[in-house]
């Protein structure tokens, strides 16, 4: 089978799902694919690029409609739905929160939900600067919640995505956390920012 970027990303995702980020090296990936490590670099320039591409792949199922609503209630619902869909995608794969966090630091554009959240916050009336900060805050909150859920599942010996009483409780806590952050970001909701615009 020919070596393609698609095949590399699928194998990287499988390794991440099975063994975690600590075991996802270019050498290990090459071994799994049955190629020399140098062959990978024809398709991806570095491990950092691999992680950015992998983050985009991991969040593909979290895609939302392109349209940005204008009604404040619909904006709040869409912000919440976007954040919760990112959480669901992160909770499916071991160490996905760490991969996406690295990708956000290196190549923010590899996480399209970041731009969507920023655009939703602009539509809600935030200044461009605050919309940028708000997108960062919401994604950082989502990443932290997902990491906490994965850590807890690991301690309870349940894998990501498995249903145990603890992980069901974590999902309820995640939902509460996301809704609280969204409410705090929106200027037209109780608890929304009352700070002067910057």
Tell me the pLDDT of the chain averaged across its residues.
90
pLDDT at residue number 58: 94
User: Do residues 117 and 79 make contact, with C-beta atoms less than 8 angstroms apart?
Assistant: yes
Predicted confidence (pLDDT) per residue in 125-179, tens digit: 999 999 999 999 999 999 999 998 888 877 777 555 555 555 678 788 899 999 9
User: Do residues 96 and 111 make contact, with C-beta atoms less than 8 angstroms apart?
Assistant: no
Predicted confidence (pLDDT) per residue in 63-95, tens digit: 888 899 999 999 999 999 999 999 999 999 989
Predicted confidence (pLDDT) per residue in 95-104, tens digit: 999 999 999 9
What does the DSSP 8-state code read for residue 46? S
Separation CA 106–CA 81 (nearest Å): 25
pLDDT at residue number 61: 86
pLDDT at residue number 68: 96
User: Do residues 103 and 50 make contact, with C-beta atoms less than 8 angstroms apart?
Assistant: no
pLDDT at residue number 164: 53
User: Do residues 82 and 120 make contact, with C-beta atoms less than 8 angstroms apart?
Assistant: yes
pLDDT at residue number 121: 98
Distances (CA, A) of 146 to 98, 109, 129, 175: 9, 20, 26, 11
pLDDT at residue number 150: 85
Structural domains present in the chain = 5-44 (1.10.10.60), 62-185 (1.10.357.10)
Separation CA 40–CA 5 (nearest Å): 8
Share of the chain above pLDDT 70, in %: 90
- How many Cβ atoms sit within 10 Å of the Cβ of residue 1? 6
pLDDT at residue number 151: 84
pLDDT at residue number 170: 79
């Amino acid at each position: 089978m020919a070596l393609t970027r698609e095949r590399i990303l699928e194998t990287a995702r499988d390794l991440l799902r099975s063994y975690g980020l600590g075991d996802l090296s270019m050498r290990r990936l090459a071994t799994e694919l049955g190629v020399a490590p140098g062959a990978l670099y024809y398709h991806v320039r570095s491990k950092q690029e691999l992680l950015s591409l992998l983050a985009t792949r991991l969040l593909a199922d979290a895609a939302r409609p392109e349209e940005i609503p204008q009604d404040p209630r619909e904006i709040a619902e869409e912000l919440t739905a976007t954040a919760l869909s990112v959480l669901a995608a992160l909770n499916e794969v071991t160490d996905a929160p760490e991969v996406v966090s690295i990708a956000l630091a290196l190549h923010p554009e590899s996480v399209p939900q970041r731009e969507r959240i920023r655009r939703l916050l602009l539509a809600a009336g935030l200044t461009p600067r605050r919309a940028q900060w708000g997108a960062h805050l919401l994604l950082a909150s989502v990443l932290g919640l997902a990491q906490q859920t994965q850590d807890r599942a690991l301690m309870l010996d349940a894998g990501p995505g498995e249903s145990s009483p603890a992980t069901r409780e974590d999902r309820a806590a995640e939902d509460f956390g996301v809704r609280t952050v969204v409410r705090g970001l929106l200027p037209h909701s109780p608890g929304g920012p009352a700070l002067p615009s910057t």
